Amino acid sequence: MKAAWGVAYKVACGVCLVWLAVVLGVAVHYGWRALVADTFVIPSDSMSPTLLPGDKVRVDKTVFGARLYTSLDFTEGRMESIRTRGCRGLRYNDIVVFNYPVNDKGRIGFKMNYVYVKRVAALPGDTISFVHSRPVNSHYEGVLGLPEAQQRLEETPDSLIPWYAMRNILVETAVLGYTIKDIPPVYVPRQGDILRMDDWRKAEIYRRAIEWETGRALAWDGARGQCLSDGRPLPYYRFRKNYYFVCGDMAYGSKDSRYWGFVPEEYIVGVVDRVVESHHPLTGRERRERRGLNLTNNE
């Protein structure tokens, strides 16, 4: 009898150890993905030739800090989170993964599994413009993105580019003559900075950010020449959040901040540091030459 109990006890202990190992393994796996690093597969060529469709990239969350949800209620595009302390802030030319910030209603809204990957062109507080298809940053004199791709865009006749691909975040492009090749200086909002809302262009450029922060509709009263928030005059606005301006390396074919505006800091997932593996999206052939490709030396 004692022998039978001994065998049963050993079996029970073995089962418990197996379950404990499984639970710990799952906890470590998801804990690592949430706090340290995760992987994403590149679906398009907007970051080509730096990143190719079929590349599986590692996203380091320790650089900028891991984003942790404080609520799982994502209805109406809401997202509540905190961020752990990171090693550093984002830098120019960092390649970042982020949640696409614009919802189906044309407003800033969170989508859980809808992520983009682009290169940082401007940080909070910067002023960025585009001259002959090249980004020009008020606080950075180095090269942003890939000059070769930007030159190809500049040399492409406007008549060969579809009208919708020439349009930028300044909606009245036909009136102003602006295109993605030439965009006047645009200030990138920084938390605490105050912006004078004295121009209809500002009302349009910052509408999504201000409406997202306040929950109130923003409009420009042309007759009175003033900005309105839910019908009330808004002569100045103090931003509550930080934002980033991001661009794809394929200057011609990338849908990025030139089209849909700024990325809220809360929407940043992490910094891409390497290609883990790569397979051709059509043939499935492994591209071994891209395995382990380092992407951190971008500045």
> What does the pLDDT look like over 235-276, one tens digit per residue?
999 999 999 999 999 988 889 999 889 999 999 999 999 999
Contact 173, 159 (CB under 8 A): no
> How far apart, in whole angstroms, are the C-alpha atoms of residue 96 and residue 139?
20
Contact by Cβ (8 Å): 210, 189: no
**pLDDT for 297:** 62
Instruction: Identify the CATH number of the domain defined by range 37-193+239-290.
Output: 2.10.109.10
pLDDT for res 197: 95
| DSSP per-residue letters across 148-160 | HHHHHHHHS-GGG
**In this structure, what are the phi and psi dihedrals at residue 167, rounded to the nearest 5 degrees?**
-75, 140
Helical (H) or strand (E) element with 208: helix 207-214
Query: CA-CA distance, 261 to 245, in Å (whole number)?
Result: 7
* Partner residues linked to 279 by β-bridges: 286
The Cα 241–Cα 261 span in angstroms is 14
Distance (Å, rounded) from C-alpha 23 to C-alpha 31? Answer: 12
| Cβ neighbours, 10 Å, residue 176 | 12
46 is catalytic: yes
Q: What is the model's pLDDT at position 76? A: 73
The tokens 């011609």 sit on which residue?
A: 252
* Active-site residue identified among 2, 10, 44, 46: 46
Active-site residue identified among 48, 61, 118, 202? 118
Mean pLDDT of the chain: 87
Q: What pLDDT sits at residue 80?
A: 86
Residues of the chain with pLDDT under 70: 1-9, 11, 24, 26, 28-30, 32, 163-164, 167-177, 297-299
**pTM for this prediction:** 0.89
